[in-house]
């Protein structure tokens, strides 16, 4: 079914305001893009939780490594957003892509865990964060998962104790996790410690995107399908696995992408999901902002795919899979129907005039 992008964007912006539905409406702020997207420019009416991404870990001390740009921006980030109305919870995210070995080492002993945990609390209080978020991509052994369970337990005990001693509100704890509670890329598959997460973590955020991309170069694919009738690579499968893991539904916050992935078609007349491709397009990744502009400039055909609840566009041999307003709205409705704790976007700054953020917020609040 062809979709008129401009109509959906208009509806997302100008549909009536409705009463809020409690839950998390989150997004990550890439701090390296601070000059292009200042904290002051973020419209907090669309968000309840905003994540500062990322700080890293010192591989000698196992404490947080605060760079000069971090020191400059973290206090600005928290103070600016806390001063806004409405005022969101502001969370410091630690890690990011390719952090497997670093976090594996960090949680491997009591001494290292303690150094890390104490450092996170000190930094959170110093810069005014309401919470801490672990983005470990990804645990890759049974021992890693066992140590992660021990770490979550110790982290929660530490922030509980600090809150009692300081008299301040407890620091929230969250984690960005694999889209599924089981990781299939390892042998045998690994399972996150759902029973520990249930007790000690405030919420987890499955990264429900990057199911298809440059690693699947010879056929097009939806980067973040809600459903896939042919595999387990879908948001619905991942969320279902998390709910079966013992983590309460209201502690699961579903990930949404604000970017798409591109392919070069073999034949411009064969342009469906799963059509033959010569390889990744150039560039292989486009932000939603860039996608909308490209579609307009190239008179691309935009298609909302009901089977996968995703969107794609094509012009000549250029093919892009992504989420637009319609697919985002339907994914958020799915999250509500499942009783989830909310949703989050990766990442701020990739939206087109905040239309995806506005659409998701209104869908969640309806």
- Enzyme catalytic residues: 137
Q: Do residues 335 and 329 make contact, with C-beta atoms less than 8 angstroms apart?
A: no
Within 10 angstroms of residue 159's Cβ, the number of other Cβ atoms is 22
Closest Cα partner for 3 from 325, 321, 298, 274?
325
Q: Where is 264: in which H helix or E strand?
A: strand 259-265
Q: Do residues 252 and 243 make contact, with C-beta atoms less than 8 angstroms apart?
A: yes
User: Two tokens at 310?
Assistant: 């995703």
Q: Which residues contact 22 (CB under 8 A, 6 or more apart)?
A: none
Q: Which residues contact 360 (CB under 8 A, 6 or more apart)?
A: 25, 46, 256, 328, 329, 332, 343, 345
Q: How far is CA 329 from CA 29, 111, 200, in A?
A: 21, 46, 31
Q: Do residues 312 and 321 make contact, with C-beta atoms less than 8 angstroms apart?
A: yes
Q: Do residues 13 and 355 make contact, with C-beta atoms less than 8 angstroms apart?
A: yes
Task: Please state at what angle helix 68-82 crosses helix 110-127, rounded to 10 degrees.
Answer: 50
Ramachandran sector of residue 141 (left: φ over 0; alpha: ψ -120 to 50; beta: rest): beta
Q: Do residues 106 and 139 make contact, with C-beta atoms less than 8 angstroms apart?
A: no
Instruction: State the pairing for strand pair 89-96/49-57.
Output: parallel
* 33 DSSP assignment: G
Q: Is the dihedral of CA 268, 269, 274, 278 positive or negative?
A: negative
């Amino acid at each position: 079914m062809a979709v008129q992008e401009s109509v959906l964007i208009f509806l997302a912006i100008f549909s009536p305001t409705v009463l809020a539905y409690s839950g998390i409406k989150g997004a990550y702020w890439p701090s390296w893009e601070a000059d292009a997207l200042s904290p002051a420019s973020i419209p907090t009416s669309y968000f309840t939780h905003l994540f500062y991404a990322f700080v890293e870990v010192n591989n000698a001390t196992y404490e947080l490594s605060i760079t000069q740009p971090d020191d400059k921006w973290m206090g600005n980030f928290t103070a600016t957003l806390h001063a806004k109305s409405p005022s969101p919870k502001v969370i410091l995210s630690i890690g990011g892509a390719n952090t497997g070995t670093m976090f594996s080492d960090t949680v491997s002993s009591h001494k290292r865990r303690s150094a890390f945990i104490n450092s996170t609390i000190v930094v959170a209080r110093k810069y005014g964060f309401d919470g801490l978020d672990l983005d470990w991509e990804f645990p890759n052994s049974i021992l890693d998962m066992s140590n992660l369970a021990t770490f979550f337990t110790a982290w929660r005990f530490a922030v509980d104790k600090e809150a009692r001693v300081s008299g301040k509100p407890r620091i929230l704890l969250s984690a960005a996790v694999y889209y599924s509670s089981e990781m299939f890329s390892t042998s045998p598959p690994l399972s996150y410690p759902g029973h520990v997460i249930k007790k000690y973590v405030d919420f987890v955020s499955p990264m429900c995107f990057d199911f298809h991309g440059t690693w699947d170069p010879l056929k097009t694919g939806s980067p973040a399908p809600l459903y896939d009738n042919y595999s387990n690579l879908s948001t619905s499968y991942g969320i279902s696995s998390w709910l079966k893991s013992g983590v309460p539904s209201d502690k699961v916050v579903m990930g949404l992408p604000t970017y798409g992935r591109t392919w070069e078609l073999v034949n411009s007349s064969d342009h469906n999901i799963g059509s033959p491709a010569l390889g990744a397009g150039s560039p292989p990744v486009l932000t939603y902002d860039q996608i909308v502009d490209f579609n307009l400039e190239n008179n691309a055909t935009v298609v909302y795919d009901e089977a996968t609840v995703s969107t794609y566009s094509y012009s000549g041999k250029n093919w892009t899979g992504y989420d637009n307003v319609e697919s985002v709205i339907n994914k958020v409705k799915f999250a509500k129907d499942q009783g989830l704790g909310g949703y989050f976007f990766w990442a701020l700054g990739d939206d087109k005039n905040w239309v995806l953020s506005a659409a998701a917020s209104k869908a969640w609040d309806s």
